[in-house]
A = this chain, B = another copy of it.
Amino acid sequence: MKKIGFIGTGVMGASIVKHLLKAGYAVNVYNRTKSKADEVVALGAVWQDTPALVTKASDVVFTIVGYPQDVEEVYVGEQGIFSEATPAHILVDMTTSTPTLAKKLYQLGKDQGIAVLDAPVSGGDLGAKNGTLTVMVGGDQTAYEQAAPIIEVFSGKMNLQGPAGSGQHTKMANQIMIAGTMVGMSELMVYADKAGLNVEKVLDTVGGGSAANWSLANYGPRILKQDYSAGFFVKHFIKDLRIALDEADKMGLTLPGTALAAQLYEQLAEAGFENDGTQALIKLWWHSGKPEA
């Protein structure tokens, strides 16, 4: 059984590590803030002081950290993964990061005979907890096949999307779609409220037909309970939308809906809500988080 390294034991990472431990894997962990690894260490994961030491002790190293610069630090920093990686390793970055960085890490690996996959996930905290994450993989087929049995432990759906960077591009496509549902849902709800309708009844009526979508079904009821806690942070969604727009720009592609969503979410962050969940977009209209009609 392969020894696993896991770097990044935040909300998502910790849930994934628990699934790996439960499946019987030995897991070496590292996290920038050590205390956030306490829970999984108590369950049997082994703490290592640096990404390099995690790598030395493991066969397959997963990373899920915050921003592309964190990914870069963890891979190519002084105590980084690459300082100890060998051709026997498989490295899997699950952070939602740039396709450009994914290709760079893949090439860095390839030059030394080391397989690197980009494998961002969707499904949020609940998907991680339930082991049903959607995993979108970019890289070589052989490495994908070797990593797949491990990924299956915490995934409900997994596909090799294409060469290095394709996992990240697929995740961007996913976020572009969600930009549309979040803006549409917010405008639906503020309109219904202002028109004097019973918003809950409207969600019930329209939610099962051609307007049906995951955001409406999951966030609509939370908004009506004024629950703006983060399943997924506003600040992270802004990061994702900016990556998507940068990549689109490089391809000569204009995405006006995504650009509008990025702009609205930036307004929301500027108003102080960057640590709310993405459903807080409605606060651009409902400043108190409550219906206003």
Q: How far is it, in angstroms, between the C-alpha of A188 and the C-alpha of B186 when the chains are bound?
A: 20
Q: Tell me the minimal C-beta distance from A66 to chain B in angstroms.
A: 19
Q: Do residues A177 and B188 form an inter-chain contact, with CB atoms below 8 A?
A: yes
Q: Do residues B257 and A178 form an inter-chain contact, with CB atoms below 8 A?
A: no
Q: Tell me the minimal C-beta distance from A95 to chain B in angstroms.
A: 17
Stretch at the interface among A51-59, A67-75, A154-162: A154-162
Q: Do residues B187 and A176 form an inter-chain contact, with CB atoms below 8 A?
A: yes
Stretch at the interface among A9-17, A33-41, A209-217: A209-217
* Total count of chain A residues near the partner, CB < 8 A: 70
A123 in complex: contacting residue of B170, B188, B209, B264, CB < 8 Å? B209
Q: Tell me the minimal C-beta distance from A101 to chain B in angstroms.
A: 15
Q: Do residues A169 and B192 form an inter-chain contact, with CB atoms below 8 A?
A: yes
- Asked if A260 is at the interface of the complex by the 8 Å CB criterion, the answer is yes
Q: Tell me the minimal C-beta distance from A25 to chain B in angstroms.
A: 25
Q: How far is it, in angstroms, between the C-alpha of A191 and the C-alpha of B159 when the chains are bound?
A: 18
- CB closest chain-B residue, reference A183: B257
- Asked if A112 is at the interface of the complex by the 8 Å CB criterion, the answer is no
Q: Binary interface profile of A, 162-194, with partner B (CB < 8 Å = 1, else 0)?
A: 100110011011101111111111111111101
Q: Tell me the minimal C-beta distance from A267 to chain B in angstroms.
A: 10
- Asked if A43 is at the interface of the complex by the 8 Å CB criterion, the answer is no
Q: Do residues B260 and A201 form an inter-chain contact, with CB atoms below 8 A?
A: no
Q: Do residues B173 and A188 form an inter-chain contact, with CB atoms below 8 A?
A: yes
- Asked if A198 is at the interface of the complex by the 8 Å CB criterion, the answer is yes
Q: Do residues B213 and A170 form an inter-chain contact, with CB atoms below 8 A?
A: no
**Chain B contacts of A86 at CB under 8 A?**
none
**Chain B contacts of A252 at CB under 8 A?**
194
**Chain B contacts of A256 at CB under 8 A?**
183, 187, 260, 264
Q: Tell me the minimal C-beta distance from A64 to chain B in angstroms.
A: 17
Question: Which residues of A line the B interface, CB within 8 A?
Answer: 99, 122-124, 127, 134, 136, 156-157, 159, 161-162, 165-166, 169-170, 172-174, 176-192, 194-198, 201-202, 204-206, 208-216, 218, 244, 247-248, 251-253, 255-258, 260-261, 264, 285
4 additional A-B residue pairs with CB within 8 Å, beyond A159-B201, A177-B187, A183-B257:
A161-B198, A169-B191, A181-B184, A191-B251
- A-B pairs with lowest CB-CB distance, top 3: A180-B184, A213-B213, A183-B257
